[in-house]
Structure 1
Amino acid sequence: MINTRKYQNEKPVDADLFEGQGHKQVAQAIASVLLSDSSQHIIGIEGNLGSGKSTVISILQQEIVEKGYHVVTFDADQYHSTLKPALIQNIETELKALIGTKEKYKLDKLGSAVDTALGKRLEYTKDTTSHISFSAIIFAFSLGVSALQVKPSLKFLAELADGLPNLDKLSGWLAVYRFIRIAFISIYCLKSRRV
C-alpha cells in the first residue's frame, strides 16, 4: 500500500468556498463602511496564518474596484524586519502606476515624500530672531564712519604740526571733530550696553 500525502493549498482564493459565506460577509461589511464613509482610506485585516485574510481582501477588492476605488494590498507577514520600508515602497509602486510616466512633477513630489518617509531626507524650519540692540547698531555704524575719518584727521594734524602754508584748516578741524565725536558716541554706546 502506497501512502500519499495531501497538502493544503495556502494560496488565497477569489471566492468564499465555505457554505456560511463568512469571508464574503466580512468583505461586504468592510466595503459598506468604505463606500459610506469617505474619511476611511486605510484598513487592516489581522488574523492567524490561513484564517482567510487574503481571501477577504480579494473579495473586498472585487466589491469596491468596480465602484471606482483603487486597492493597494500589502502582506506584512512577508516583511518582518523591513516592514515600514516595504510598505512605503509598495505604496510608491502602486501610486507610480496610477500617476503614469508623463506627470514628472507629481513623480518628483512622490519621490520626495518617499525619501522623507524612509528617513533619507530631512526637512526642517528654523525660526531665528535677532538680539542685536539699537546701541550695538549705532556703535557698528559709528566705528565704520570713525575709521573713515582717521586718515584725514591724522594727515591734517601732521600738516598742522609741520606748519604747512595754505592749509585748509576748516576741513581739517571738521575731520578731527567728526573723528572725536564718533569716538565719543562709540564709547557712550559701549557704556550703555554694560548698564
Structure 2
Amino acid sequence: METPLRQIRSEARVQDESVLAIAPSDDDLWVFGYGSLMWRPGFDYVESALAWVHGYHRALCIFSHVHRGTPERPGLVLGLDRGGSCQGVAFRVAAQNRAQTIQYLRERELVTSVYLEKLVGVRFAEGGCVNALTYVVDRSHCQYAGRLPVDEMTRLIAEGVGASGDNPAYVRNTYEHLLQLDIHDAELAEITRRLDLCSCRR
C-alpha cells in the first residue's frame, strides 16, 4: 500500500530539518536549477543566467516514488550527484520573496528525504560567483539509483507515471530545454532517442 503523500512530506521534513542549509536573511536568494526547475521554476525571480556548479554532475540517479512514479513502479529523475561539474540555470529571487520561495522549494523537492538542501558555489558564464540553493542526492537513501544500465533507465522512464505526470515528458522537457540553452547532455540525449524509438514501435 502506497504511503499517503501528506505523510511522506511530514516524514521528510522531520528527517531533513536539522540539515536545512538556508538561514533567514535580508539578502536576495540565488537558486540553481539543473532539471525541471530550469523549465518550470514555479517561483518569481528577478533574473536568470547560465551557471556552472563544480563538484557535482547531473544524473538520472533517483528512483521517483511520487512525482514521476510510485513505490510499486518507480520512475527515474535527475539529481546532482558527486563528482564532475554541471551547467544549469541560476535564478535570482528578490529578498522579499526569499522565505516563500524556500518554503515552496522545500515542499516541492523534499517530498521524500532523497534530496539534501545545500548551498553551493556557482560560477556564471559571463564571470562572477555566488552561493546558490540547490538540491543534491543523498547517496545513502533507498531511492538513490546510482548508475544504472541505459536499457534499465529507459524502461523505468518509459513506464513511470506519478503525481506530476509521466516520466518520459519530464525527460524530454529537460532535454529540449537544455538544447535551447546550448547545453549538451549525452545521457539525456541517448535516453530521449531511445524513448522516441519506443514510442514509434507502439
TM-score higher than 0.5 = no
Give the structure with the larger strand fraction. 2
TM category, shorter: under 0.3
Structure number with greater Rg is 1
Give the structure with the larger helix fraction. 1
Q: Which has the higher contact order (CA 8 A, sep 6+)?
A: 2
Using structure 2 for the length normalisation, give the TM-score. 0.22
Using structure 1 for the length normalisation, give the TM-score. 0.23
